[in-house]
Structure 1
Amino acid sequence: MTATATRVLVLNSGSSSLKYQLLDMTDATRLAVGLVERIGEETSRLSHTPLAAGGDKRETEGPIADHEAALKAVGAELTADGLGLDSPELAAIGHRVVHGGLEFTEPTVIDDAVLKEIERLVPVAPLHNPANLTGIRTARALRPDLPQVAVFDTAFHTTMPEHAARYAIDVATADAHRIRRYGFHGTSHAYVSRKTAELLGKDPAEVNVIVLHLGNGASASAVAGGRCVDTSMGLTPLEGLVMGTRSGDIDPAVTFHLKRVAGMSEDEVDVLLNKKSGLIGLCGDNDMREIRRRIDEGDERAALAFDIYIHRLKKYIGAYSAVLGRVDAVAFTAGVGENAAPVREAAVAGLEEMGLAVDASLNAVRSGEPRLISPEYARVAVAVVPTDEELEIAQQTYALVSA
């Protein structure tokens, strides 16, 4: 890597999408951001915003056959802004990889052996790792000379003790099939827990934080002194909180019942729990703004869905307070956590004996900055901390390749 190579391109590859950001790590400035949607369809769309030049968003529509074509289209947009993929200022490409198992506990430079191991983990992340692999292979083919770094969603959670990570099933069976709790959204939990400590003016090693990452996918974590000691998602991202389309915690016997009594196949049960449950299964909507609008109009199904969502949140706040012993802060993040004031208010309502409270006026403020929304007298700080997974990936990538 040359001394002038300070840029990192972050890629987040989905099955039919490619989200990207280009950052200059001298000061963590975003130079460009964008998204390619509906890859493989006739109506593919590329949205690109050249932030460095202060330009307007550019959108193009038309067929983009595959991820290789998508990345080439992204490269063309970057080149038009003088930020091309062939630039000597590009230090590395950082890839979000959802599942790293126990094998990957930190960012890793990708070689053939690493690729093979990520592929071996596909059975425990069938919806995510294949798409991540496609993005990696595409980028390596276009820039084989450039370091490619995998940053794993699961890595932050590998510090969980065995008593938190193990399921209470036969050990030999669990080990043979790598069945354990891995956790996800790790880059977000790492970033937000660290930023929460900064907001409190303390070293992360001194702070115990409960992080609530509430988006369409949602997860909670208990972070003690900068290390994850428990998290709500498990073998897959299905376990834990009520989510937009996922059930979260459920009696595992429900799956047997649906197969035996309803005659549902394994695939049908999978689709039910992952795509037709959670908020959308309860009330037909997975957009919290629409749910709140319906509640205001007296919709009982929406109100029940909201109450179930909040009840699960409170259970995890209580559980993780017990796990941590001392809680310094509860941090809300991601789309719902950052923007839905009623969710934050309801989640801590009635928890005053635990030291939690929300100031109504502070909670109502909309801001893109980390902020406290608890009153000064509250024993436990309640914070809103916008997450930045792309920056976290870029920082970890750059630190590795510039070491």
Structure 2
Amino acid sequence: MAQTAFGPGPFILTVNGGSSSLKVALFRDENPPVSMVRCLFSRIGFPDSLMTVVSGTTKKPESRTLAVPDHAAGMDLLMHWLEQAVGLGNIRAVGHRVVHGGVTYSRPERVTPDMLAELRRISPYDPEHLPSEISLIEAVGRRCPGLFQAACFDTAFHHDLPRVAALLPIPRRYDAQGLRRYGFHGLSCAFLMRELTRVGKTGEADGRIILAHLGNGASMTAVRRGRSIETTMGFTPTSGLPMSRRSGDLDPGIIAYLARTEGMDVERFHRMVNAESGLLGVSELSPDMRDLLAQEARDPRAAEAVALFCYHARKAVGALAATLGGLDTLVFSGGIGEHAAPVRARICESMEFLGITIDPRRNQAGEPVLSRQDGQVTVRLIPTDEETEIARSVHELLGME
């Protein structure tokens, strides 16, 4: 392979599309893959879209504003930039985060026409993510026909949930149509379990573990002997904990009530619970936990939103520990879990009955181990990295070709 701006190739490109963002990373194809550069397109669809590039060596971000009307446009801009920086011929494969794999996909797989047809079929499962993710795969295919592309599914980690955990209490005929609890943030969970195996005590990764992925999207997962046995998200990523803009679990009677009293239709309700609820809806100020923590002392709405988030997270820890029959390790991750020490402290407050006690100094400093030395439960902070997990999966798939 020819020398490039990021050294010799070949490279693996990872693509992680959110509802209004696009994260892309370039890795040298080694074992394990080596991060070279990361790029984030934020506020896609807005006039002030932002492209931020961070080198894997300097870690220094460089940003500029540009027009990115949709995810495919962002991908086209990125591929043009990569053509100049590394040459598209030096990219060996592209790995995509695909949020929903339905009942069919339980592991990363090479993209095929049949897979794209199945993803289009189940797009109603997740209209917030699947259509844009399909468009990203197609955009790469148009620019680089024949390039190896792989789909890495966020639901795969939870694919084999126990039947009782996956089953929805609705008429059985819908189960045959694929309506079940799926769980999400699986790429993050897989990465965290790899890291726990690496940094944890002997046998810790085989114990009773709760993974708390707390970011703009938030979920918790109970893991026993390395397998997901329960998780807070269900059929869609809207369910479970309150999140930045998503409501989390709601009484389904609210849908009928708003339809009768406000004439709210399905699309309007969908928009409300996915974009206008959660921290933003309760606070009426911001979906960003950093803003709310900064304002909670002077604005009761901010204080209430933070309290609600921590309350539901603490409740979820208790429920998941019950499914595990106890708890050995609690892992905090995601943007809030990694950076919001007050939130971690409040979630763990009054949890001594489960053996959870955190050291205030360690927590404030964001140390890798947050629990007290005499704590029965090891409380850890492990930064997640979905892009690295995608790159590892693609590297393994290439080795099987």
TM value normalised by structure 2: 0.91
Q: Which stretches in structure 1 are left out of the alignment for 5+ residues?
A: none
* 1:28 maps to 2:33: yes
Equivalent pair of 2:238/2:248 in contact (CA under 8 Å)? yes
Task: Please state whether the residue corresponding to 2:89 is helix, strand or coil.
Answer: coil
Please say if residues 25 and 395 of structure 1, whose CA atoms lie closer than 8 Å, have aligned partners that are also in contact. Answer: no
Alpha carbons 1:193, 1:204 under 8 Å: kept: no
User: Could you report, residue by residue, the CA deviation over 1:143-198 in whole angstroms, capped at 9, with x for unpaired residues?
Assistant: 2222100000111011201100001111113323x211111111011211332343
Amino acid at match of 1:134: S
What is the aligned partner in structure 1 of residue 208 from structure 2? 208
- State the shift of 1:101 in Å: 0.6
2:41 partner amino acid: V
Question: How far does the alpha carbon of each residue in 1:39-59 deviate from its partner, in whole angstroms, 9 at most, with x for none?
Answer: 56654443333435x496444
| One-letter code aligned to 2:81 | E
Distance 2:345 2:399 in 1: 43
Partner SS, residue 380 of structure 2: strand
**Alpha-carbon RMSD:** 2.2
Asked whether 1:352 is paired with 2:352, we answer: yes
The alpha carbon displacement at 1:16 in A equals: 5.1
| Gap change, CA 1:222 and 1:282, over 3 Å in 2 | same
- Matched ranges for 1:61-80 at <5 A: 61-64=65-68, 67-80=71-84
Q: Where does residue 396 of structure 1 map in the other structure?
A: 393
Write out per-residue CA displacement over residues 314-357 of structure 1, whole angstroms, 9 at most, x where no aligned residue.
Answer: 11101111101132111110000000001111111111021001
2:16 aligned with 1:12, yes or no? Answer: yes
- Cα distance 1:275–1:143, how it changes in 2: closer, same or farther (>3 A)? same
Q: CA deviation at 1:75?
A: 2.8
Structure 2: gaps (5+ residues): 2-7
Cα distance change, pair 275–66 in 1 and its aligned pair in 2 (3 A): closer
After superposition, the Cα gap between the structure-2 partners of 1:350 and 1:132, relative to the gap in structure 1 and judged at 3 Å, is same
Q: Residue 247 of structure 1: CA displacement? A: 1.3
Instruction: Indicate the SS of the match to 1:242.
Output: coil
Equivalent positions of 1:369-388 (< 5 A) are 371-388=368-385
> Could you tell me how far apart the structure 2 residues matched to 1:179 and 1:64 are?
34
1:327-346 alignment, distance < 5 Å: 327-346=327-346
How many residues align? The count is 392
Q: CA deviation at 1:92?
A: 0.9
Change (3 A) 1:263 1:58: same
Equivalent-residue separation in structure 2 for 1:79 and 1:123 (angstroms): 35
Matches within 5 A, 1:3-402: 6-14=10-18, 17-26=21-30, 27-39=32-44, 43-51=48-56, 54=58, 57-64=61-68, 67-81=71-85, 83-87=86-90, 90-176=91-177, 178-203=178-203, 206-284=206-284, 285-297=286-298, 299-366=299-366, 371-402=368-399
Distance 2:83 2:112 in 1: 27
- Secondary structure, in 3 states, of the residue corresponding to 1:271? helix
Alignment partners' CA distance in 2, 1:105 and 1:319: 26
Q: Contact between 1:204 and 1:225, CA under 8 Å: does it hold in 2?
A: no
Measured at CA, do residues 307 and 68 of structure 1 come closer, stay the same or move farther in structure 2, by a change above 3 Å? closer
**Cα shift at 1:28:** 2.8
Percent of paired sites with the same residue: 35
SS of equivalent residue, structure 2 residue 117: helix
